[in-house]
Amino acid sequence: MEIAVARGDGIGPEIMEAVLSVFDAAGVPLSYHDVEMGKEVYERGLTAGMTEETREVVEGCGVLFKGPLETPTGKGAKSVNVTARKLWSTYANKRVFKTLPGVDTLWSKAGLKTDITMLRENIEDTYGAIEHLQTHDVAQCRRFITRPGSLQLHRTAFEIARRKGARRVTCGHKANIMKLTDGLFLETFYEVARDYPELRSDDLIVDNLAMALASRPQEFDVVVLPNLQGDILSDLCAALVGGLGYAPSANLGEHICVFEAVHGTAPDIAGKGLANPTALLLSGCMMLRHVGLARSAARIEAAVGPALRALSRPLDLGVPAPRPSTADFTRAFIDNLPPEADFAHLVDDPDNRLHIPPVLQPQRMMSTPKLHAETCGGADLFVESTESAEAVSRRIKPLLDDQLRLTMISNRGTQVWPLASRFTECVNHYRVRIEARPGVGDLSGSQLLTLAASIDPVIRVCSMEMLMSVGENRGFSLAQGQ
């Protein structure tokens, strides 16, 4: 079986060479197709960070094994790491945090063993990176949480929990504040949980979850989170097991999967032979299991603990050992590979893989059945003004016909008209809520766009959002204080 390999930037080539050497010593039945991604590609003027040939090879293999990649700063280039995840719809970022022998942490010294699998949504949330400058003082980022994307992630989380033999799946969220976006993420979590009654399903607000993970890591099995929150808490979990150097990662999609270490390129030690390849090796073992090479993965994983214990021993009493080199790690992993006979009960079967090879198809539209009528009851206009909210209301009211009314003005999410505090500090960006009068019914998009066009000459309109309702449920947030 052939997989695509991107050796990476910084320490990437060193640790990838170390891992592939261990694979060769273990007789892993894979062949490798090297592809170009990262810094050198950017420097050739390709802002995507990858070549078209790379895209074709990865889409042909269905599996990419990659070292850390660098995204240049200040050149308008998007992160190739994020691009790869989103381009190939690897919707679930799986990270495993497990106490390892020979890696001492505050928690392991206290006798607390960690074995947490974190599933982070990998495509949506603020990682859509859809940003706009609304005024010279105000930047906006759009955050997307979708029902199909959330259902897809949660189903994967519960399936992984079932295969792991976990007892608990926990959803982290901020639905107490972001009631529509995180609210949808939480709602779909419990929708999927109904199909897995043997598993305990619960949820924690993300700040409470952060404290609980740091103080009681042994209580958690599988944790599922939106993209940004998962990014932050996965680094917290890495600290529980010794740092990012021991945190393997997989980006799982239905057709293409990307396996990588969580850490960066570490340019300060690049080329010095000092990089720790453990995280990439463990990521590689996740990849081996995914493509049906369970025996190879188990044999290599069995070498990790003894190797790390050997590398952590002092050379002489009272004299700490020098920092192991990349070559030291490689030799230790190879020297501690157990006999193949010990794993005869396991079978390498690439035809029985978790991963399904990619099939060429049109871009898929994901949607769920529409169960309730959608209606539009108005619009939020975002306008630029340094005047008071009262002055803004006086400008807009005369422009409304007898079907519409001005119901609220907010600034930075806090209501400043009609009820307000004199101590609320404002910026030059108001949300002006215009709604249909009682009895008017559904408003058309063209009607509201015409309204925005009539207001813009009087007060600049930066953007607009329709006020949608789904059935009896309001599809827009209230302002603080409203």
Per-residue pLDDT of 44-93, as tens digits, reads 888 889 999 999 999 999 999 999 998 776 556 678 888 899 889 999 99
Catalytic annotation present for 235: yes
Angle at 249 between CA 245 and CA 250, to 5 degrees: 160
Annotated active-site residue 196? The verdict is no
Low-confidence residues of the chain: pLDDT under 70: 73-77, 313-321, 351-361
Set 127, 246, 348, 430: catalytic member: 127
Per-residue model confidence (pLDDT) at position 112: 86
* Domain boundaries, given as residue ranges, for the chain: 1-90+244-368, 104-240, 374-474
From the list 231, 328, 348, 380, the catalytic residue is 231
pLDDT of residue 359: 65
Closest CA to 62 of 17, 149, 2: 2
Q: Which of 220, 201, 199, 198 is nearest to 209 (CA)?
A: 220
Do the domains 104-240 and 374-474 sit in the same CATH topology, yes or no?
Answer: no
- List beta partners, residue 466: 379
Catalytic status, residue 316: no
CA distance 266 to 68: 9
Selecting from 3.30.40.230, 3.40.50.150, 1.20.1430.10, 3.30.70.1570, what CATH number does the domain 374-474 have?
Answer: 3.30.70.1570
Q: Is 231 a catalytic residue?
A: yes
Q: Say how far apart CA 57 and CA 66 lie, in whole Å.
A: 13
Q: What is the pLDDT of residue 110?
A: 86
Catalytic site includes residue 342: no
SS (H, E, C) 110-174: CCCCCEEEEEEECCCEEEEEEEEEEECCEEEEEEECCHHHHHHHHHHHHHHHHHHCCCEEEEEEC
Q: Give 104-240's CATH code, choosing from 3.40.50.1370, 3.40.718.10, 3.30.200.20, 3.40.50.720.
A: 3.40.718.10
Q: What is the Cα–Cα distance from 470 to 375, expressed in whole angstroms?
A: 7
Q: Is 3.40.718.10 the CATH classification of the domain at 1-90+244-368?
A: yes
Catalytic residue among 91, 125, 174, 246: 174
Please name every residue paired with 33 in a beta bridge, in sequence order, or none if there are none: 4
Other CB atoms within 10 Å distance of the CB of residue 374: 12
CA distance 67 to 37: 10
**pLDDT value, residue 179:** 95
